[in-house]
């Protein structure tokens, strides 16, 4: 070979999927794995209802489903989305303000890739990995963050957000994930208005990842970006992966607010659009199906039932994990994740859980190093000892040690047992040294 032609990586790993490789190896040793790591309701056993499958089958009967679509996406679907947004009464858009992607992960990559290398986005900490990795890949250095406080119900530190927005002139945008992954935090309207104020006063645009906007628990109030944004430029990111749920459809989109009001923002959106044009378009089939699903008479009831189930599992998890004196646990208010945090100083690099088979013990030690965060060591031991697969919180780019689990088990009794097992393992692990 003439020279090293692989682009240097950032050294970051997507631990949500990385741990799957470890788990698959353990399965070969006979370990029965309980997958509490990936936010895919379908893979976790939610059976899609008949009406849903019938609606989608109907789309397949039309030749339209097999065509390329316009680069921005299927026109009638974009008109449908624009009308849905406009009915909320906030920032108004047309179909021209919407661009479809192959999943929101794809939209995230395109958005950060269109930024100048010196332009940075202020991110929550912890942050959902896809945003963080896309941001780091475009700029090569970790971004500035504002902390979500695990000791104050994951409330974002808006004073830190404002200070950094004022001081760091490379920051051009603020990212908000509402409802949040991995914490389950849901922003009140007042908090969202504050974020928009900070953006306005510092001449920033906002990026709101609203993929979980329809998964908000009973009694919790929030609103959409378009309802608070006023005249600030902004992007809302959405997808059918979680609410519908159709993650394998790889169908997400951005809605752009106030595009014409700022020439720099306008050029940025155009850069995203031009990149997409070079790829022709995103998948047509799920885009045509989207309005048929959201408007189906059964959809609302179906969604509500699922959200109530997630809330019930969240309560169970808070109750069971809260029994461990070594954890700090906050009740999520939306999405379908719970992040538990280890109390200060309870972890070290020597703790262990009993593993029955010596070969598994050797394997786990071989994939861990002294440099690994302590919570990663805990999650690998938990996996090897009990088969429960959760994600270390530090893999969401925070120094806070903990773990994230999904609230997606269809069987509530089995879920109770899983979280009980985790809580008991936390105690045994911490007390092992
Ligand atoms: C906050 C957030 N944004 C984006 C995505 C990516 O979603 P998609 O399946 O549409 O690519 C996820 C997936 O888990 C997510 O949690």
Instruction: Supply the pTM of this predicted model.
Output: 0.96
- Report d(CA 184, CA 181) in Å as an integer: 6
Query: Span 392-405, mean pLDDT?
Result: 96
* CB of 105 shorter than 6 A to ligand 1: yes
- How far is it, in rounded angstroms, from Cα 144 to Cα 136? 11
What does the pLDDT look like over 257-282, one tens digit per residue? 999 899 999 999 999 999 999 999 99
Dist CA 208 CA 217 (whole Å): 19
Instruction: Note whether 171 and 205 are within 8 A (CB).
Output: no
Residue with CA at minimum distance from ligand 1 atom 14: 39
In whole angstroms, give the CA distance from residue 283 to residue 238: 15
Say how far apart CA 77 and CA 372 lie, in whole Å: 46
Residues forming a β-bridge with 209: 177, 237
Q: What is residue 3's predicted lDDT score, i.e. its pLDDT? A: 79
Burial of 318 (0-12, 13-18, 19+ CB in 10 A): middle
- Decide if domain 61-294 falls under CATH 3.30.930.10: no
Helix (H) or strand (E) holding 148: strand 145-149
Cα of 340 vs centre of ligand 1, distance in Å, is 21
E strand intervals along 281-383: 327-329, 337-342
DSSP 144: P
- For ligand 1, the distance from its centroid to the CA atom of residue 194, given in whole angstroms, is 25
Domain boundaries, the chain: 15-46+300-430, 61-294
Pocket mutation for ligand 1, best pick of 14, 211, 287 (most atoms within 8 Å of C-beta): 211
Decide: 132 and 143 in contact? Cβ < 8 Å.
yes
> Mean pLDDT across the chain, nearest whole number?
95
Q: Is 239 in the pocket of ligand 1 (CB under 6 A)?
A: yes
128 lines ligand 1 (CB under 6 A): yes
CA distances from 176 to 49, 94, 128, 236 (A): 32, 23, 10, 10
Is pLDDT above 70 for 7?
no
Residue 192 · residue 225 · CB < 8 Å: yes
Of 14, 25, 15, 26, the C-alpha closest to 387 is 26
Q: Comparing C-alpha atoms, which of 137, 110, 222 is closest to residue 177?
A: 222
**In the beta sheet, which residues pair with residue 174?**
122, 206
Pocket test for ligand 1, best of 99, 185, 241, 397 (most atoms within 8 A of CB): 241
- 142 Cα to the center of ligand 1, angstroms: 20
> Which residue lies with its CA nearest to atom 16 of ligand 1?
181
Q: What is the pLDDT of residues 199-249, one digit of tens each?
A: 999 999 999 999 999 999 999 999 999 999 999 999 999 999 999 999 999
| Placement of tokens 């698959």 in the chain | 24
Residue with tokens 């000892």: 385
Of 12-21, 176-185, 292-301, 317-326, minimum mean pLDDT range: 12-21
Buried b (16+ CB within 10 A) or exposed e, 366-393: eeeeeeebbbbbbbbbbbbbbbbbbbbb
> Which pLDDT band, with edges at 50, 70 and 90, does 433 fall under?
confident
Indicate whether 13 pLDDT > 90. no
Tell how far the Cα of 413 is from the centroid of ligand 1, in angstroms.
28
d(CA 410, CA 332): 18
- When pLDDT is averaged across residues 86-105 and rounded to a whole number, the result is 98
Please determine, looking at this structure, whether the domain spanning 15-46+300-430 carries the CATH number 3.90.1150.10. Answer: yes
Asked if the model's pLDDT at residue 12 lies above 90, the reply is: no
Q: Positive or negative, the Cα torsion across 103, 109, 113, 119? A: positive
Q: What are phi and psi of 373, to 5 degrees?
A: -60, 150
Residue 149's alpha-carbon distances to 146, 152, 235, 392, in angstroms, are: 9, 5, 25, 17
Give the start-end residues of each E strand in 26-152: 34-35, 98-101, 120-125, 145-149
Task: Please check the confidence at residue 20 and state whether its pLDDT lies above 90.
Answer: no
């Amino acid at each position: 070979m003439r020279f090293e032609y692989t682009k240097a990586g950032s050294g970051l790993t997507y631990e949500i999927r990385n741990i799957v490789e470890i788990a698959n190896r353990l399965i070969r040793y006979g370990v029965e794995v309980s997958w509490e790591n990936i936010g895919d309701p379908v893979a976790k056993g939610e059976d899609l209802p008949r009406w849903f499958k019938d609606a989608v089958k109907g789309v397949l009967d039309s030749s339209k489903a097999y065509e390329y679509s316009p680069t921005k996406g299927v026109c009638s679907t974009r008109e449908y989305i624009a009308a849905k947004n406009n009915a909320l009464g906030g920032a108004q858009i047309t179909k021209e303000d919407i661009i479809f992607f192959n999943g929101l992960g794809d939209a995230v990559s395109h958005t950060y890739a269109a930024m100048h290398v010196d332009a940075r986005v202020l991110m929550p900490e912890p942050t959902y990995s896809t945003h963080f990795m896309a941001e780091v890949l475009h700029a090569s250095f970790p971004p500035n963050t504002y902390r979500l406080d695990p000791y104050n119900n994951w409330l974002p530190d808006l004073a830190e957000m404002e200070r950094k927005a004022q001081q760091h002139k490379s920051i051009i945008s603020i990212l908000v994930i509402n409802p949040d992954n991995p914490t389950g935090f849901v922003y009140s309207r007042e908090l969202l208005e504050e974020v928009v104020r900070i953006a306005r006063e510092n001449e920033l645009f906002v990026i709101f990842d609203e993929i979980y906007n329809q998964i908000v628990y009973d009694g919790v109030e929030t609103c959409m970006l378009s309802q608070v944004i006023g005249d600030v430029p902004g992007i809302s990111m959405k997808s059918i992966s979680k609410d519908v749920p159709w993650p394998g459809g790889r169908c997400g989109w951005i809605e752009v607010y106030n595009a014409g009001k700022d020439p720099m923002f306008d050029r940025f959106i155009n850069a995203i659009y031009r990149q997409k044009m070079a790829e022709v378009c995103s998948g047509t089939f799920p885009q045509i199906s989207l309005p048929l699903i959201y408007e189906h008479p059964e959809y609302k009831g179906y969604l509500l039932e699922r959200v109530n189930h997630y809330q019930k599992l969240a309560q169970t998890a808070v109750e069971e994990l809260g029994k461990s004196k070594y954890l700090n646990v906050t009740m999520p208010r939306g999405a379908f994740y719970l992040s538990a945090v280890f109390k200060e100083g309870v972890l070290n690099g020597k703790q262990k859980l009993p593993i029955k088979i010596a070969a598994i013990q050797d394997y786990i030690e071989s994939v861990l190093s002294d440099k690994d965060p302590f919570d990663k060591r805990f999650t690998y031991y938990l996996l090897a000892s009990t088969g429960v697969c959760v994600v270390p919180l530090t893999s969401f780019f925070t120094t806070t040690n903990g773990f994230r689990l999904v609230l997606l088990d269809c069987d509530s009794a089995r879920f109770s047992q899983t979280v009980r097992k985790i809580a008991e393992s936390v105690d045994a692990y911490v007390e092992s040294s």
